Amino acid sequence: MYPFLKQSLVLVSVCCATQLFAAEVRSQPTGKEKQAPVGAKSNPPPSLMAEDSLDMRHASGAREAKTQVTYSAAQVDGNFKPFTGKVTGNAVRMRLTPEADSPVIKECAKGDLVVIMGEKTDFFAVEPPCDLKAYIFRSFVLDNVVEGSRVNIRLAPELNSPVIGFMNTGDRVNGSISEKNHKWLEIAIPKHLRFFVAKEFIEKVGGPELKGVHDKKRDSVVQLMDSSALLGQSEMMKPFQEIDFERISENFHAIIHDYKEFPDYVEKAKTKLMELQEAYLQKKLAYLESKASRIGKEFHAKNELVSFSEETEANPKDRMKIWERVEESIYLAWAASHHQKTMTDFYTEQKKEAVKISGILESYNDLVKHKPGSHLIRDRDMPKAYIYSTVVNLQNYVGRYVTLVAVPRANNNFAFPAYFVFDVEP
């Protein structure tokens, strides 16, 4: 009993393997296909013929359909003058044959370009899209050469996927093993095949070469988009002062302005540029805050070391320069929240908050730490405010009663308010 059971299992395994192999090869044409000439090779083994019969019983005549569902250039192009057409509808179906119920090859988006090579009834015949792949069973390919007659080319690496064409013994194949199913080779769709799109959804936009130019430009924008994204990522890893944001911006603006026929990539470029601008702004804020803090510390350290004699003997203009670092740190802190604003813009805003203070102007020569001004304003022998300026030489007004146009500044916890002087009124 056991030997009989073993033989039965082997026989079943062989039959299953034979049917799977035969599903992708047609050695004996039927129906409307051209009959084999006299003297041709012998008929296929019974297993292959049985498989063909099985197809006919289960598909109710689908065997003939499989031999007629594909069209080649010789069948439809004729004397037709090719052109590039633009798809005018959304989700327009590209079909295997010029029939409304034939298998769908892909759905075309509005604005897609196709090369029209012929026509048949209410359909245009189009070249196979470059972005589509086809599949052939690996068992029929040896050293990149097809071994078998009428080997099916399918739209997907599955036995129930639509057959879109055939290959024969001796045809060369350049393909790679499919990642979806390792039993299949992924290949480019043969150029001689034709698919079909309803005429009502096609608008002529130029000669047949336009599609090739368009595809090259699409490849260009894809490469530019990828390189721009990598450049932006690389630049954002650098310290703020080393970032070349202008270069990043130029690349994305090139996509936005020079590739308007690719709106999907234009939108991607805009989105990516906004993300990088936000990242750049955050790095700038951190940098300016750090710089402002450092300048303030440097100023106070320097101020502590300046002696009374050095300050009084210094040229008035040199004394004013001491306060330039203070103003720079204040400006930088302001600029952190005011993108691309200059110091002139800063002072324009400051003048809107300016006030007038009057009194006798005196030099403030006390040797103290963190003093908030180089001069004092007195009113009735009482100090009224500390003042300093980088634009007005206050030393010229010592001992005189003046009215100053000034804006408040930090008084470093001294007894009286401090001001930066913009002007002295006559």
- Specify whether 52 is located in the same domain as 75: no
Query: Measured at the alpha carbon of residue 166, what is the angle toward residues 162 and 171, in degrees to the nearest 5?
Result: 145
Average pLDDT for 137-158: 91
pLDDT at residue 411 tops 60: yes
Alpha-carbon distance of 207 to 84, in angstroms, equals: 5
pLDDT band at 325 (very low <50, low <70, confident <90, very high): confident
- Specify whether 283 is located in the same domain as 311: no
Residue 152 lies in a domain: yes
Residue 366 sits at φ, ψ, to 5 deg, of -65, 135
Half-sphere exposure of 228 (CA within 13 A, CB side): 28
Average pLDDT for 108-130: 91
Cβ contact 97:53 at 8 Å: no
Average pLDDT for 235-241: 87
- Specify whether 275 is located in the same domain as 335: no
- Specify whether 75 is located in the same domain as 170: yes
Residue 299 lies in a domain: no
Average pLDDT for 85-113: 91
Between the alpha carbon of residue 43 and those of residues 49, 67, 271, the distances in Å are 9, 18, 63
pLDDT at 177: 92
pLDDT at 284: 83
- Specify whether 159 is located in the same domain as 44: no
Assign residue 419 the CATH number of its domain.
Answer: 2.40.50
Query: Measured at the alpha carbon of residue 323, what is the angle toward residues 318 and 329, in degrees to the nearest 5?
Result: 140
- Specify whether 49 is located in the same domain as 126: no
pLDDT band at 303 (very low <50, low <70, confident <90, very high): low
Residue 160 lies in a domain: yes
Residue 300 lies in a domain: no
Number of domains composing the chain: 4
- Specify whether 177 is located in the same domain as 110: yes
pLDDT at 408: 95
C-alpha 118 chain-centroid distance: 36
Residue 274 lies in a domain: yes
Structural domain containing residue 171: 70-206
Residue 296 lies in a domain: no
Among 259, 287, 315, residue at a domain's last position: 287
- Specify whether 280 is located in the same domain as 367: no
- Specify whether 62 is located in the same domain as 78: no
The fraction of the chain above a pLDDT of 70, given in percent, is 76
Average pLDDT for 279-304: 72
pLDDT band at 299 (very low <50, low <70, confident <90, very high): low
Average pLDDT for 139-158: 91
pLDDT band at 27 (very low <50, low <70, confident <90, very high): very low
Between the alpha carbon of residue 358 and those of residues 202, 380, 387, 398, the distances in Å are 81, 11, 12, 13
Among 18, 43, 67, residue at a domain's last position: 67
- Specify whether 19 is located in the same domain as 145: no
Q: What is 137-192 written as a DSSP string?
A: EGGGEETTEE-SSSEEEESSSSTTSPEEEEE-TT-B--EEE-SS-TTEEEEEPPTT
Torsion of Cα atoms, 287 then 289 then 293 then 298, to 10° = 40
Among 52, 67, 82, residue at a domain's last position: 67
Tell me the per-residue pLDDT of 34-93, one tens digit each, with 9 for 90 and over: 333 333 333 333 333 333 323 333 333 333 334 445 676 666 667 889 999 999 999 999
Count of helices and strands (H, E) across the chain: 11, 20
Alpha-carbon distance of 391 to 400, in angstroms, equals: 19
pLDDT at residue 129 tops 50: yes
Tell me the per-residue pLDDT of 245-257, one tens digit each, with 9 for 90 and over: 888 899 899 999 9
- Specify whether 337 is located in the same domain as 416: yes
Assign residue 77 the CATH number of its domain.
Answer: 2.30.30.40
Average pLDDT for 169-188: 91
pLDDT at residue 17 tops 50: no
Average pLDDT, the chain: 79
Residue 7 lies in a domain: yes
Average pLDDT for 181-197: 91
Residue 276 lies in a domain: yes
Tell me the per-residue pLDDT of 350-375, one tens digit each, with 9 for 90 and over: 999 999 999 999 998 887 778 899 99
- Specify whether 196 is located in the same domain as 113: yes
pLDDT band at 300 (very low <50, low <70, confident <90, very high): low
pLDDT at 426: 75
Tell me the per-residue pLDDT of 190-221, one tens digit each, with 9 for 90 and over: 888 999 999 999 999 999 899 889 889 989 99
Between the alpha carbon of residue 90 and those of residues 84, 85, 216, 235, the distances in Å are 18, 15, 23, 39
